[in-house]
Every structure is written in structure tokens, then in C-alpha cells.
Amino acid sequence: MSSFAVVGTGALGGFYGGLLARSGREVHFLMRSDASFVKTHGLRIDSKLGDFHLPQVNVYDNVHEMPKCDNIILALKSTQNHLLAQLLPPLLHERSIVLVLQNGLHVEQSALDIVGPGCVAGGCCFLCSNKVGPGHIRHLDYGKILMGPYQGLGDTETGPTMSRLNALQQEMIDAGIDCHTTESLTLARWRKLMWNIPFNGLSVILNSSTNKIMGHPASRALAESIIREVRQTACDCGHSIEPEFVQFMMDHTDEMVPYDSSMRLDFLAGRPIEVESIYGNALRSADRANVDAPILRTLYRQLTFLADNRASTAI
């Protein structure tokens, strides 16, 4: 069994790290404000897979006190990626894998710039979970990870081999995580963007939950237009997605429980929102491929303005 560092122990890092620790693996958690609370009280996960409590966990608020680990799970918000030059090097040995479990497109590039080729993978997480208190995670639904080697902006870099990722996948599965691998990480990321780009952004711009957006004909039509445009952009960037996936995303969203996107929760709480990793990076990919994406560009500009002028959005 290999060792894990979890960088960023929030709703996502706490959930997956908690499952890995419960399975008996060596897991080292880096956290900020909750570190002393968790040292004393442990980590609590309420999950539809079964609640559990880990009374003794390896907790740190300083990366230099942590050991080097075989796998580094990067579960910070991507808005924190300017910290990676400090956070990653102390944790890596020669055979470490960095697994970036962040939202967006090419979010692995920051890690790749620091640690170099051969060891950076990314994963799309399909997870509904919230942090409800210090060291206390509530897992609401889903939980799948789809991970693959990160090959850089031009798909030309070397990631970890598939055999190394398949070994990591098996450890995840043994810990109870629904983990899958793909050789086409960028395609997987674009497919996930077909949900995140419409619903994260509209939930902030229209200040509404997903079911309200789906329930009004104007916003519903807009969401569907955005999904179509993201699919077309992905295809034009060389990542082919079947046309039927548009309708699948609409049906899937209709069937979801009323859900506030993490971007909306972050926005309402005054936390940074992941505009660059989701919208900015997708748009820059479109621009590199000389693809027009007018609605994506509009949403990007609206969200950038709103993120910078949050104080004035209270009516």
C-alpha cells in the first residue's frame, strides 16, 4: 500500500482522504484553520456510503513537517494554485504522482510547471459533498473519479504511465472509491465542462439554484445553448463528444436534487470563485484553436466582473 498526502482538506480532500485513511493507508492531511481541531477531535464523514469517524489522523498546518509521499492529492481550490511552488516540492520523492482533483481545464498545468513531466495526473470528480463544520464533511451524492495522465496544453507532455495510474486506481477502489482511468484526460475535462460552464456560471450570474435555472424557459434555453457551444468548442479543439451528450446533460440536470453549485456557495460566502480554471482556460483553448465561443466569452467576462465587484452586488 502506498502513502498519500492530501493538500487541501475540504469537502473533497477530506472525503477521499478519509476513505483512504479508513482503509488503513498512510494518509497525511494538510489543512489550515481546522488543523488543531482535527488533531484533537479527528475527522468526521457523514456519507450515504455509511458514516464514519477517524479519531486519530495525521494532520499538519505546515508542509515542511510532512513526510514525502507516493501520491499527492491536490484538492485545494484552483484559485490557490499560486501556492503550489511552496506546497509541492517538499512532498515529492522521485516516484511520486501528483493527482490534481480540481475543477476546470488544464488545471494541472500549474503543477506541471513546478514538478516537471512524468508525474502529473488529473482527475474529474463527480461528487456532491460539503464541509459542514471543522473536520466535518457531509457527502451527499455521487463520488466517482475519472483520472488520466496530464499531457500539457498541447497534449505533447508525458504524464505517469497508465500502469502506474492503474495501480493507483486499484488502491482507490480498495478504499471504497469509485475510481476509473482514461487515456484522454482533456476529453474527460471537456465533457465535465459541459455541466460546469453553464450551471456554475448561471447560478452566480442569475443568483439561482440549478432547479430554478432549469425551471424557467429562458434560462433553460440559455443553459442548453451553452452546453451546445461547449460541446462544439471541444470538438473544434479536437476532443470529439457525441451530439447526444447535450440532451444527456439536460436530462441529468433535470433529475438532480436541487443543488447549489460550489461556485455559487463560494460567491455568496465571499470566497474566490474558479473563473480562470473553468472559463478562462476553456476560452484560451478555444482561442488557441481559433474557435469562436461567444457565449462562453460573455459568461467569462460577466463572472470576472462580478468576482471583482462582489461588494456592489448586494441589492
- Does the protein bind its own copies through residue 95 (CB under 8 A)? no
Residue 83: CB atoms within 10 Å? 14
- Does the protein bind its own copies through residue 211 (CB under 8 A)? no
Pick one of 208, 236, 250, 291: the residue that binds its own copies (CB under 8 A): 208
| Cell numbers that stand for 82 in this block | 499560486
Q: How far is 233 from 240, CA to CA, in rounded Å?
A: 10
Going from the C-alpha of 104 to that of each of 2, 44, 73, 119, 245, the distances in angstroms are 27, 28, 16, 19, 18
Active site includes 131? no
Contacts with its own copies, 273-302, as mask; x by CB under 8 A: ---------------------xx-xx-xxx
- Does the protein bind its own copies through residue 308 (CB under 8 A)? yes
The owner of cell 455541466 is: 195
What letter represents residue 96's amino acid? S
Q: How far is 38 from 13, CA to CA, in rounded Å?
A: 14
Query: Whose Cβ is closer to its own copies: residue 235's or residue 295's?
Result: 295
Of 28-36, 64-72, 150-158, 218-226, which part binds its own copies (CB under 8 A)?
218-226
Catalytic-labelled residue, pool 48, 77, 192, 212: 192
- Does the protein bind its own copies through residue 309 (CB under 8 A)? yes
Q: How far is 8 from 102, CA to CA, in rounded Å?
A: 11
DSSP 153: T
- Does the protein bind its own copies through residue 170 (CB under 8 A)? no
- Contacts with its own copies by CB under 8 A: the residue count is 29
| Cell numbers that stand for 135 in this block | 473536520
Going from the C-alpha of 154 to that of each of 95, 105, 180, 279, 285, the distances in angstroms are 24, 12, 23, 18, 10
SS (H, E, C) 26-51: CEEEECCCCHHHHHHHCEEEEECCCC
- Does the protein bind its own copies through residue 111 (CB under 8 A)? no
Q: How far is 182 from 20, CA to CA, in rounded Å?
A: 21
- Does the protein bind its own copies through residue 54 (CB under 8 A)? no
How far apart are CB 266 and its own copies at their closest, in Å? Answer: 13
Contacts with its own copies, 237-276, as mask; x by CB under 8 A: -------------------------------x--------
- Does the protein bind its own copies through residue 126 (CB under 8 A)? no
Query: Whose Cβ is closer to its own copies: residue 130's or residue 211's?
Result: 211
Query: Whose Cβ is closer to its own copies: residue 38's or residue 299's?
Result: 299
- Does the protein bind its own copies through residue 216 (CB under 8 A)? yes
Element (H, E) at 196: helix 185-205
**In this structure, what are the phi and psi dihedrals at residue 184, rounded to the nearest 5 degrees?**
-120, 70
Query: Whose Cβ is closer to its own copies: residue 35's or residue 213's?
Result: 213
Q: How far is 131 from 136, CA to CA, in rounded Å?
A: 6
- Opening angle at CA 313, ends 309 and 315, nearest 5: 155
- Does the protein bind its own copies through residue 315 (CB under 8 A)? yes
Q: How far is 281 from 54, CA to CA, in rounded Å?
A: 37
How far apart are CB 205 and its own copies at their closest, in Å? Answer: 7
How far apart are CB 50 and its own copies at their closest, in Å? Answer: 36
Query: Whose Cβ is closer to its own copies: residue 15's or residue 279's?
Result: 279
Query: Whose Cβ is closer to its own copies: residue 55's or residue 270's?
Result: 270
Residues lying near its own copies in the complex (CB under 8 A) are found at: 205-208, 212-213, 216, 218-219, 221-222, 225, 268, 294-295, 297-298, 300-302, 304-306, 308-309, 312-315
Catalytic sites, residue numbers? 192
